[in-house]
């Protein structure tokens, strides 16, 4: 067991939409402007918030997910990704106590804060309330044993802040670390998966600079750094990974396919793989001499015409599939392998056609169990995953059984021969044997 000092703090919130992403981005940029080396993390499975963090701190943000990875792996990854930094800033997920299911706090911001010893700052949206804000904060402080050490008030004007601060500190004894006023010039748009992606906001740099300037005036950054610096020492176990093969794996990465866990990609590299990034919308064929293909999630529905008209790429992927190249695809990548999306022709490697929906389909954490032997899971083996999509296909069967904590089950995925394609997203650090098997299959194909 290794014990080390990691300066760390969590920016959590009372609920989704309370402003924790805005406050987190403001703090990240302000700390970076001070010349500090900052590591950024996001609790839970979300892909989009880490993209914003990454743009701001100019290095990769990571996810902390106890369900997808397990605590041992999560602790190791947090320590590894916090190396050589001044402070690690962790953005919470949903409401502070909201966890895996509707009635549990497991894998919530609260759970991660407690298990990883991360002191938390609670972001509270004060719009439409005054003294009641103190009552709400008291509920969060008293609900369960926690590490909340301060609060930041959102949507508060300068002239009202003094009243809020005095009321909260006098009644509750919790420190108020500042506030964020509403600033229309710094608003970030949203889409069905939450925020729009960072690459889509041309003015992101200006928005975050504005947020940072506001934070320097309205948030006690020195107090936040003091809280982070006083976090207890961190224990973790180093995890060794087998080096398997120097296979070359093509990874789709552009605006249509941008949902990847950076730690999963780096695990493949740690096992010896060389990742070759390409764009299914812009490139006309797969790079030569690749031994495997990964198609991640994203927003293919926004680029259907470009994807459908790129016959060169479609034919190249189909040729690789026919030759037996191992293909791993998640969510948007799964859809791209289908016959069509909204009647736009796709690669047609698998039979289902896909349609976008107004309503969110299967959502949440799931445990996947293989019904038969597949490329990455043998019959009866399981993997942890997360599903979230606004689309459906015309197939009522699947190679895997998905089970939620509630007990609800359904069939999902197309996992036959050299293809492992599914809606849910998998974190390879929680399912290391799947990453190893994929590389071994790529090695077999290479030979």
292-295 vs 340-341, strand pairing mode: unpaired
Q: What order do you get walking across the sheet with 344-345 strand by strand?
A: 344-345, 340-341, 353-356, 391-393
Q: Look-up: residue for tokens 């802040």?
A: 161
126 is catalytic: no
In angstroms, the CA 386 to CA 383 distance is 10
Catalytic residue from among 126, 331, 415, 442: 331
Both structure tokens of 121: 């700052």
Neighbour count for residue 367 (Cβ, 10 Å): 17
Active-site amino acid positions: 331
């Amino acid at each position: 067991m290794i014990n080390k000092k990691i300066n760390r703090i969590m920016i959590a919130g009372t609920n989704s939409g309370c402003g924790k992403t805005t406050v987190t981005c403001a703090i990240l940029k302000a700390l970076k402007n001070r010349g500090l080396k900052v590591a950024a993390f996001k609790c839970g499975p979300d892909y989009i918030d880490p993209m914003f963090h990454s743009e701001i701190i100019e290095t990769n943000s990571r996810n902390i997910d106890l369900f997808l990875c397990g605590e041992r792996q999560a602790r190791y990854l947090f320590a590894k990704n916090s190396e050589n930094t001044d402070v690690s800033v962790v953005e919470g997920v949903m409401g502070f106590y909201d966890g895996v299911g509707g009635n549990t706090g497991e894998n919530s911001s609260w759970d991660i804060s407690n298990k990883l010893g991360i002191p938390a700052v609670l972001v509270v949206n004060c719009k439409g309330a005054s003294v009641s804000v103190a009552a709400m904060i008291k509920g969060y402080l008293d609900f369960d044993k926690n590490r909340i050490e301060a609060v930041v008030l959102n949507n508060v004007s300068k002239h009202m802040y003094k009243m809020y601060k005095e009321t909260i500190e006098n009644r509750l004894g919790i420190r108020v670390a500042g506030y964020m006023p509403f600033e229309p010039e710094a608003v970030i748009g949203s889409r069905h998966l939450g925020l729009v992606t960072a690459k889509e906001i041309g003015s992101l740099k200006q928005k975050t600079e504005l947020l940072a300037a506001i934070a320097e005036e309205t948030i006690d950054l020195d107090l936040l750094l003091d809280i982070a610096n006083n976090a207890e020492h961190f224990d973790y176990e180093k995890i060794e990974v087998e080096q398997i093969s120097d296979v070359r794996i093509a990874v789709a990465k552009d605006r249509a396919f941008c949902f990847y866990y950076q730690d999963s990609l780096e695990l493949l590299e740690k096992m010896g793989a060389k990742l070759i990034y390409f764009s299914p919308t812009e490139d006309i064929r797969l790079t030569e001499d690749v031994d495997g293909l990964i198609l991640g999630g994203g927003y293919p529905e926004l680029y259907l015409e470009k994807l459908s008209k790129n016959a060169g790429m479609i034919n190249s992927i189909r040729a690789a599939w026919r030759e037996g190249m191992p293909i791993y695809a998640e969510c948007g990548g799964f859809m791209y392998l289908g016959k069509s999306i909204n009647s736009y022709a796709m690669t047609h490697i698998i039979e289902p056609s896909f349609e976008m929906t107004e309503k969110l389909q299967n959502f949440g954490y799931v445990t996947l169990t293989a019904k038969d032997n597949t490329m990455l899971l043998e019959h009866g083996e399981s993997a942890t995953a997360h599903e979230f999509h606004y689309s459906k296909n015309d197939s009522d069967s699947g190679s895997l059984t998905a089970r939620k904590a509630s007990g609800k089950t359904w069939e999902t995925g197309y996992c036959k021969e050299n293809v492992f394609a599914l809606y849910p997203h998998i974190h390879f650090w929680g399912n290391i044997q799947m990453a190893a098997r994929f590389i071994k299959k790529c090695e077999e194909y290479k030979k």
